Amino acid sequence: MEATKALTVMEGTVDSVIFRNEENGYTVLRLEVGDGEPVTVVGCMPGAAPGEGLAVQGTWARHSSYGEQFKAEIVERRIPVGEKAIFEYLASGAIRGVGAATARRMVEAFGADTFTILEEHPEQLTKIKGITRKRALQIGEAFRLQMGMRLLLDFLGEHGLPLQLGMPLYRRYGDLALDVIRDNPYLLVDEELGVPFSTADELALALGLDGEDPQRLEAAILFELTHNLNNGHTFLPAQKLLRATGQLIGVEGAGLAEALDSLEHQGLLTREEVAGEDACYLAPIQEAEAYVAWRLEEMCTRELLPPSNLDRLLSDIQSSQGITYAPQQRQAVALAAERQVMLLTGGPGTGKTTCLRGVLALFDALGLETALAAPTGRAAKRLGEACDTEAATIHRLLETQFDQHTGQLVFSHDEDEPLSADVVIVDETSMVDVPLMRALLSALRSDCRLILVGDPDQLPSVGPGNLLSALIRRGKVPTIRLTEIFRQAAESAIVMNAHRVDRGELPDLTNHQKDFFFLRRRDPVRTAETIVELVKTRLPEKMGIPADQIQVLSPTRKHHSGTLSLNQRLQETLNPGEQGKGERRFGPYLFRLGDRVMQVKNNYDIMWRDRDGRSAGMGVFNGDIGRITDMDPRGELITVDFDGRLVEYGPEMLGELEPAYAMTLPGRPLHRHHPGPGALHPGGGRGKGGPDGPQRPPAAALLRPPGQAGRAVTLPLSGAVTQLSFSGKLDRKREKPLNFMP
């Protein structure tokens, strides 16, 4: 086991602040320690200012550009003592409304008691010429807020919590942040804050909370439900939920059941009977599913009057596009003119893109404004290229924003501000979860058409629910299932093997003449060497595929053929270090100018701009892949280009990036539990129209097919090469998953 590196302790006075990120508090400063030259200290030190005393614990490191630096892990801040230090602190701009001139007059008037006056008697500042009572009170308030931040940071440091939490907590709760967290440490268990439940639980117990306190029990139940959202589950049976919660916190007895009842009474949790089970799920998830069911049910009942010249329009479209539709394709394009909502599904090579081009041409002929969207940036890019028109992510279409007050993702477009589009087409719908579909449906005008496209055997959503598969199996939404594999697609071994897997058959591993081939390597080191050779030489030379267009997939992160090792090997092969090429190390990763990287966390409040600087927006999402295009050594900023969206990452944000030469395979079961018959929408169970509005049906009306959901695994077969060996087979009766071996 690697020995833990001992921390060095150092005390001094802040001489100057070189750099500070106001969003997260990451700071680079010079610290006077003794009589020698000031020391460069880096770390999370929000609000640190000249004249302030700091006691820091950390380690020494050598920066490639700036030389030796002290990386502070624990920071204890001390109020400046003495008139000189007080003046330097106030003159630094640490307190809003106080500059150098005002600071000098304050110290001249109050001397060493200046801080006491600011905190307890700010009205006395009116004795200073030019300071009104209003301004005096504002300065006093700003000082108290600054002191509140100090106390918050001291609290975090005392309990071993990351100081980086200080700024987001302060933005969310203001000067009450410390009191709020002391009162309920479980508020730290939040996607933005990123504190594990176990850490928050330890803090709560350390603060004196009883092990069976209702607050602890309720927090644990909510955590279990929230945690399982990321596993795709919209609900958990009550008994399973209580058992898992009890194991999590080591509690048994009636208290957990009482906590469950309390959460239901508070409206935070909803319970329903599903197949004889007492199903429990978070209220917003149930509401989202009920809303989706209600809205789709409403759209399904509306039949549109197709144009009288529909047949001629379809013939003209075929002629202009130089194709002849197969019967299923013609039926799909025609259905788009007749129904407000429809599903278009089919495996690879069955002509979904051809249908989409026809539908777009039809809507254009009808004078309808069409918006194309997909759940991810790469899917949106592929959709736009295939249809020769602009496509956006669903988040971008809805104009994602981050509410700083609630810490929640919000959209500019909703029922009050709907999209202007007459038609919305969503591709890769299998990856759309229930909450995102709820947001999309709420942003559609009442007369807007919706076309959902996807393959239920492709990637499922990361979030809760398995929407597309459920809708198809239920059969209530008008659906066209394309089954014919066209000649050009049939020539692809990838397509044919994908259909074999879908049928429960092993792929054909013997045909190496097309775009799918299998190489067996029994030695893990040799496996890794073969992968590097394929990417560097064989595929570019033999198949004409540029190395930057090859994506390596692996089922594991560790070992020789895992992503950690493969990314290092591929980086040194495809993007080796050289003199003058920028580099930045973070944890196990070395980021280098030109590297392919992936965002691994949803970040809704990060800003991006386009390459021309003409537009900007917010949000980068888990799975977005980009390339490092610039490194700023002075500010230690890394710029990543995500398909035209430029995002700047500071050192404190590099934990959201990973190298992406090699990526892990998704391992989520395709079929999942779904909530049972949904409760009606809040507010008397009515729609937006109030008590007299349309009655919303139970979620089961559309989203829950009859019978018990099974489990299946989808094998990604995209790209020129898939290097996997297989063991086991798919038993259709038992629906056992394939076993993947690296």
pLDDT along the chain (742 residues), means of 10: 64 85 78 86 81 85 78 80 83 80 91 89 90 90 77 81 79 83 92 86 94 95 91 90 94 92 95 88 92 94 89 93 91 94 90 92 95 88 89 88 64 93 95 93 96 86 86 91 73 77 81 78 89 92 88 87 91 91 84 92 79 78 88 77 89 85 63 31 29 40 42 27 28 27 24
* Strands of the sheet with 391-393, listed across from one edge: 391-393, 370-374, 423-426, 449-454, 341-346, 479-482
pLDDT attached to residue 705: 41
At 714 the pLDDT is 26
Q: State residue 669's pLDDT score.
A: 36
Those residues whose C-beta lies under 8 Å from the C-beta of residue 369, and which sit 6 or more positions away, are 420, 421, 422, 423
* Strand intervals (E) in 469-615: 479-482, 552-554, 583-586, 589-592, 596-599, 603-610
Residues 537, 722, 465, 360, CA torsion sign: positive
Q: Which residues, at least 6 apart from 349, have a Cβ–Cβ distance to it below 8 Å?
A: 485, 486, 488, 489, 490, 492, 495, 499
User: Letter for the amino acid at 612?
Assistant: D
654 touches 586 (CB < 8 A)? yes
Residues 6+ apart with CB under 8 A from 361: 317, 320, 321
In angstroms, the CA 462 to CA 646 distance is 25
**How many Cα atoms within 13 Å fall on the side-chain side of residue 502?**
17
Q: Report the pLDDT value the prediction gives residue 588, as an integer from 0 to 100.
A: 82
Four-CA torsion 305, 309, 312, 317, nearest 10 degrees: -50
Environment class of 265 (CB within 10 Å of its CB; exposed 0-12, middle 13-18, buried 19+): exposed
The CB density around residue 490, as the number of other CB atoms within 10 Å, is 13
Rounded Cα distance between 555 and 667, Å, is 8
In angstroms, rounded to a whole number, what is the distance separating the alpha carbons of residues 300 and 340?
7
pLDDT of residue 5: 58
DSSP E strand boundaries for 321-375: 341-346, 370-374
Burial 162-192 (b: 16+ CB within 10 A, else e): ebbbbbbbbbbbebebbeebeeebbbbbbeb
CA end-to-end distance (rounded Å), the chain: 27
Q: Which of 350, 352, 364, 381 is nearest to 320 (CA)?
A: 364
Cα-trace Rg, the chain: 30
Question: What pLDDT score does 247 carry?
Answer: 94
Decide: 681 and 291 in contact? Cβ < 8 Å. yes
DSSP 693-741: SPBPPPTHHHH--SS-----------SS----EEES---TTTTPPPEEE
Question: Rounded to an integer, what distance in angstroms lies between the CA atom of residue 700 and that of residue 698?
Answer: 5
Closest listed residue to residue 418, CA positions, set 392, 450, 446: 446
Question: How far apart (Å, rounded) are the C-alpha atoms in residues 87 and 90?
Answer: 5
Residue 64 has a pLDDT of 66
Q: Which two tokens stand for residue 649?
A: 């990452």
* 137 neighbors 122 (Cβ within 8 angstroms): yes
- In DSSP terms, which residues pair with 400 in a beta bridge? 411
Residue 234 CA to residue 225 CA, distance in Å, equals: 8
Q: What is the predicted pLDDT for the residue at 706? A: 38
Note the Cα 151 to chain centre separation in Å. Answer: 31
Note the pLDDT of residue 267. 94
Encoding tokens for residue 614? 């003409």
Positive or negative, the CA dihedral 440, 295, 668, 452 is: negative
Q: What does the pLDDT read at residue 154?
A: 77
Where does residue 210 rank: exposed (0-12), middle (13-18), buried (19+ CB within 10 A)?
exposed
Q: Are 89 and 49 in contact (CB under 8 A)?
A: yes
d(CA 422, CA 451): 11
- Provide the whole-model pTM: 0.69
